[in-house]
Amino acid sequence: MTAPPNDCLARNEWICGAYLTSRRQILLDAVGQHLRLTAVSVLVGLVIAVPLAVLARRRRWSAAPVLGVTTILYTIPSLAMFSLLLPLYGLSATLVVAGLVLYSLTLLVRNILAGLRAVPEETRQAARGLGYGPIRLLLTVELPLALPAAMAGLRIATVSAVSLVTVGAIVGFGGLGNLIYAGMNTYFKAQVLTASVLCVLIAVAADLLLLGVQRLLTPWTRAARA
Amino acid sequence: MRTLTDAWAWLTDSAHWAGDDGIGHRLLQHLVLTVVCLVISCLIALPVALVLGHLGKGGALAVNISNAGRAVPAFAVLVLLLLTPIGSWGEGPSVVALVLFAVPPLLTNAYVGMREVDRSIVQAARGMGMTGRQMLFHVELPLSLPMVLTGVRIAAVQLVATATIAALAGGGGLGRIITAGFNLASTPMVVAGAILVAVFALIVEGVFELAERLAPVRLRGSR
């Protein structure tokens, strides 16, 4: 089956079991890099987005500029975004992370803000009446109630990040995108297809994982529906 | 700052505007690719979405296709198409990939727009004896137009972005200036190309924004 002159690698077939076994380490490394780049960017994005959304909610004047800037950032195509960051970060993984953070910001800020705005005024007033200060109100009332909307944004941001990491191949840090890029230059069909399918699988797995986390974090939404 | 002035110098050098690899030609390629693919995508997606929305069927497909589209990397699709027989058609892979990524937002927004039309209005139209076709064209479509146009705007911005990535897989357009810059290790050229792409995308977004503002009041969304 794996006789060198006539196996699926030599025939350059799309689907090739021999590719999976012979390039296992390369694939694992690429998946690892892909996951690291995605996770770091989404987490950094989240750390920046939460205070921005809270600021936009608390200080009415800041909502328009915050949303405006993040929307403009989101309009810039990914390849251009990475290229614009080149003078700042050079050919590095940081460049890819920085670009992805800027994209996830838009989705996260918009969704967290929508979640915070959807907290009923009566709920906030009830909490204030119980003597909650602004910080306690935010942490124990507003943010938990904004969780479903925030998690929806987090899921979209994560799935987008998984697919955008591939463009990082232009600077050599694209996770599975590197394999797609190299496979394109050598017309290596099995490599391109395998890496592409893995990308989609990672995106779906991440989405399902976050959906599970959301269910765990917001048990009351299930109770209400049942 | 140094890089920005270098990029500016690169952009304003008239030698870089002429010829097949020049900014002028790349800009035209990008524009043609975006417009042609937007028209093709609208022709494919809008009739399907309007009919599905009118019949109230296929909602799960129309809504979920956008989420699925987000999970598939444009770059992967471009390279996959390049390695299929379509790859030998010149701009074939770019056109097919662009259309594939522009259809989901068009479909989802038009479908949701159609379904969000007030049911009582639709029932009133039916009560007046309108046929299905009349209801679609005289009641549902006009009322869902703001959402349909939002879909067109999202698709257009998506097209500009995907057309840029197409350059990675050998397609034409402004992205080629960026990839050429990387190949030549010329940061000013990369940045200049990126500025062109970013400005192009923002202008497209701006044009739609402006069109929305200038549109007659009844076409405006609730946004």
Q: Whats the size of chain A, residue-wise? A: 226
Pairwise CB contact (< 8 Å): B165 & A192: no
pLDDT-derived band at B223 (thresholds 50, 70, 90) equals very low
The amino acid that residue A100 corresponds to is L
Are A34 and A202 in contact by the 8 Å Cβ rule? The answer is yes
Which chain A residue has the Cα nearest residue B73? Answer: A163
Are A111 and A160 in contact by the 8 Å Cβ rule? The answer is no
Q: Is B8 on the interface with A (CB under 8 A)?
A: no
Q: Is B112 on the interface with A (CB under 8 A)?
A: no
**Which residues in chain A have Cβ-Cβ distances shorter than 8 Å to B195?**
80, 84
Structural domain containing residue A17: 4-225
What integer pLDDT is reported at residue A79 of this predicted model?
Answer: 92
Q: Name, in order, each residue with C-beta under 8 angstroms of B142's C-beta and a sequence gap of 6 or more.
A: B218
**Which residues in chain B have Cβ-Cβ distances shorter than 8 Å to A95?**
none
Integer Cα distance of B113 and B143 in angstroms: 8
How many separate domains does chain A show? Answer: 1
Integer Cα distance of A75 and B205 in angstroms: 8
What integer pLDDT is reported at residue B217 of this predicted model?
Answer: 63
CA A157 to chain centre: 4
Pairwise CB contact (< 8 Å): B194 & A79: yes
Q: Is B76 on the interface with A (CB under 8 A)?
A: yes
CA torsion, ordered B169, B174, B180, B186, to nearest 10 deg: -140
**Which residues in chain B have Cβ-Cβ distances shorter than 8 Å to A195?**
76
Pairwise CB contact (< 8 Å): A80 & B198: yes
**Which residues in chain A have Cβ-Cβ distances shorter than 8 Å to B70?**
156, 159-160, 163, 203
CA torsion, ordered A137, A138, A141, A143, to nearest 10 deg: 180
List, for chain A, all residue ranges whose pLDDT scores fall below the cut of 70: 1-5, 223-226
What integer pLDDT is reported at residue B172 of this predicted model?
Answer: 82
Residue to test with chain B: of A83, A104, A211, most B Cβ within 10 A: A83
Integer Cα distance of A177 and A174 in angstroms: 5
What is the crossing angle of helices A60-75 and A24-58, to 10°?
A: 150
Residue B18 has pLDDT above 90, yes or no: no
**Which residues in chain B have Cβ-Cβ distances shorter than 8 Å to A87?**
3-4, 187, 191
Are B114 and B50 in contact by the 8 Å Cβ rule? The answer is yes
Out of B169, B190, B202, closest to residue A184 by CB: B169
Report the CATH number that the domain containing residue A165 is assigned in CATH.
1.10.3720.10
Q: Whats the size of chain B, residue-wise? A: 223
Pairwise CB contact (< 8 Å): A83 & B190: yes
ipTM of the complex as predicted? 0.86
Out of A83, A163, A193, closest to residue B71 by CB: A163
CATH number of this structure's domain B2-219: 1.10.3720.10
**Which residues in chain A have Cβ-Cβ distances shorter than 8 Å to B177?**
none
Are B211 and B156 in contact by the 8 Å Cβ rule? The answer is no
Q: Is B73 on the interface with A (CB under 8 A)?
A: yes
Over residues A148-160, the pLDDT tens digits come to: 999 999 999 999 9
**Region of residue A76 (phi > 0: left; psi between -120 and 50: alpha; otherwise: beta):** beta
Structure tokens of B16?
């870089």
Pairwise CB contact (< 8 Å): B80 & A193: yes
Q: Which of A121-125, B56-60, B115-119, B143-147 is the least confident region?
A: B56-60
Q: Is A214 helix (H, G, I), strand (E, B) or coil?
A: helix
The whole-number average pLDDT for the span B77-102 is 88
Over residues B138-158, the pLDDT tens digits come to: 999 999 998 999 999 999 999
Q: Is B134 on the interface with A (CB under 8 A)?
A: no
Name the residue with tokens 């497209």.
Answer: B204
